Structure 1
Amino acid sequence: MKIVFMGTPDFARSALEKIIEAGHEVVLVVTQPDKPKGRSGQLQVSEVKECALLHNIPVFQPVRIKLPENVAELKKYDADIFVVAAFGQILSQEILDMPRFGCVNIHASLLPKYRGAAPIQQAIIDGLKETGVTIMQMAAGMDTGDILIQKTIPISDEETGGGLFDKLSVLGAELIVEALPKIERGELTPVPQDEAEATKCGKLSKDMGKIDFSKDAVTINNLVRGLNPWPSAYTYLNGKSFKIWKALVENASEGKGSETIGTVVEVGKEYISVQTGEGLLKITEVQLEGKKRMSVKDFLLGGKITVGTKLG
């Protein structure tokens, strides 16, 4: 099939590479405009653009895809299908109706659960035991289109947002390559989403990472895992930002008096244990403001934390 591919970050790049590898004709790649990075302000190309240039595929970078002149540009390529993965812009109904097989989206959740911008991280934050990828026929709403095919993977108790992102990126790439020939042959039956089961998740923000130690240790640890590597979970130590990168849960069912919440109750050679609203959070990897990320063992060689230290 002749494909127009729309995507921007590394999650989308995996799918584009797999589609090219499978022998499909990608006639155009649509991605977000280059953005300045860092103090130098040097323009940085998206992962998807970088991949397209490597394969000599034309690249189109509209600021607003829905403008009439941009819609006209898309029509020039006479594609059979548009494949969308983390593109970052909403498509108009005119665009959705343009290709012969419509537009399909690679979404990193088991729809109708977790519609929206950050389903991967939210699944971990919410303590889910499994998630997956959905290939859906795109409609005007946010991730509301009919489901074409889904695949599930488990979420381990140690999984991080970054680790799950990588796994779902690979799964999404594999699933779209499986789906495309079936779409062309009419072998996939669109299944409407059950609106009663639908949930939404918003974009990630740095504020989400602030730890509330009055919550239980399991919930806090899920936050730590889900927001690793970005935006990360954090508290404060002596007035400085104190990121928590890795932790374990101890005595998850045991509560303590509110006066000790957020207090260090044990300091070992390789960990510090903090009292939460229910259970202990055993912290093993941290980063103090202005310092590198390191194990608690290394941190304790130069930083002082004692029993009774209050975090937050």
Structure 2
Amino acid sequence: MRVVFMGKSKRSAVRALDWLVARGVEVVAVVAPEPDELTHEQQRLDLAARRHGLLGVSEAELYANPPADVDVVISFLFWNLIREPLISLGRVGCLNFHPGPLPDFRGVGGYNVAILEGLSSWGVSCHFVDEHFDTGDLVEVERFPIDQAAETAFSLDLKSQDHLVALFERVLQRVLDGDEVPRVPQGDGRYLSRAEFDELRVVRPGDDLGRKLRAFWYPPWPGAVVDVDGRRLTLVDEPLLADAAAAYRDAGRLP
């Protein structure tokens, strides 16, 4: 089987790529983001591709010279809207693995909204890619319980990535086995834009402060914020500080 793999700087994306290679899948091209100073080596998809001797290409290069005889184009948390000819390039299709339950949580900010709304369960999805963000036919949604009293955006991401890898392995094993991949139209759903996400981060009168702080706790990125004297400040409470202190301790960052 020949695949194109487009992914993000996440350990889950590296695990997914490793799984393909371990099963003898021919990965003909890997599109990975440029690393920054916050990216750990274990998250670097470009290093994983190099370790396996795979061809790393830019997104522009892939569109300019798409490979032939591709079975599946895989988008694993890929950050840009995928266009033709990639949507139709694969014999099976173009599959996206999304860290939220579709169609209810398209776009960004799913973890945050899940906590703000006090949900007791969450999910991850696989769907076929069409010309819009997160709207193509569904393959499968995997749901799991979450702790609505203690979950943070960071902890929910950690849980979701494990479930997303499990879903990836299950779907791709179907493809490897030659089984039909189900596809069910999504129907209506909601989409959160980046601008709407930024507005949600602002603490306003009447907000459940503890819940809002947890909903946007994802260091080192800014969390729930207040505007003071022209400055935007991130708020942290004692439980979140304890969480950060434990991370420093485990990393050996001690005075």
1:90 aligned residue: 81
1:215 aligned residue: 206
Deviation at 1:234, TM superposition (A): 3.5
- Pair 21,223 (structure 1): closer, same or farther in 2 beyond 3 Å: farther
Aligned residue for 1:5, secondary structure, equals strand
Question: Which 4+ residue blocks in structure 1 deviate beyond 4 angstroms?
Answer: 35-38, 204-208, 236-242, 283-287
Pick from 161, 186, 191: which aligns with 1:169? 161
2:9 aligned residue: 9
1:24 aligned residue: 25
Per-residue CA deviation, residues 40-98 of structure 1 (Å, 9 max, x unaligned), is xxxx9x72212212222110123xx4xxx64242225x321011022222221321111
| TM-score (structure 1 length as normaliser) | 0.66
Matched, 1:52 2:49: yes
Q: Is the 8 A contact 2:115 2:215 kept in 1?
A: yes
Pick from 224, 239, 251: which aligns with 1:233? 224
Pick from 185, 189, 192: which aligns with 1:192? 185
Structure 1 unpaired stretches of 5+? 39-43, 247-282, 288-292, 296-312
Query: For the aligned residues, what is the CA RMSD?
Result: 3.1
Matches within 5 A, 1:100-249: 100-156=91-147, 157-184=149-176, 185-195=178-188, 198-203=189-194, 208-212=200-204, 214-217=205-208, 220-229=209-218, 230-235=221-226, 243-246=234-237
More strand by share: 1
Aligned residue for 2:70, secondary structure, equals coil
Q: Is the 8 A contact 1:110 1:133 kept in 2?
A: yes
Distance (whole Å) between structure 2 residues aligned to residue 89 and residue 178 of structure 1 = 24
Q: Is the 8 A contact 2:28 2:67 kept in 1?
A: no
Structure scoring higher RCO (CA < 8 A, sep ≥ 6) equals 2
Q: Name the amino acid aligned to 2:168.
A: I
Q: Is the 8 A contact 2:116 2:212 kept in 1?
A: yes
Distance (whole Å) between structure 1 residues aligned to residue 64 and residue 96 of structure 2 = 21
Aligned residue for 1:74, secondary structure, equals coil
Distance (whole Å) between structure 1 residues aligned to residue 47 and residue 135 of structure 2 = 30
Aligned residue for 2:210, secondary structure, equals helix
- Pair 17,162 (structure 1): closer, same or farther in 2 beyond 3 Å: farther
- Pair 284,236 (structure 1): closer, same or farther in 2 beyond 3 Å: farther
Deviation at 1:35, TM superposition (A): 6.0
More helix by share: 2
| TM-score (structure 2 length as normaliser) | 0.79
Aligned residue for 1:75, secondary structure, equals coil
Distance (whole Å) between structure 2 residues aligned to residue 104 and residue 169 of structure 1 = 17
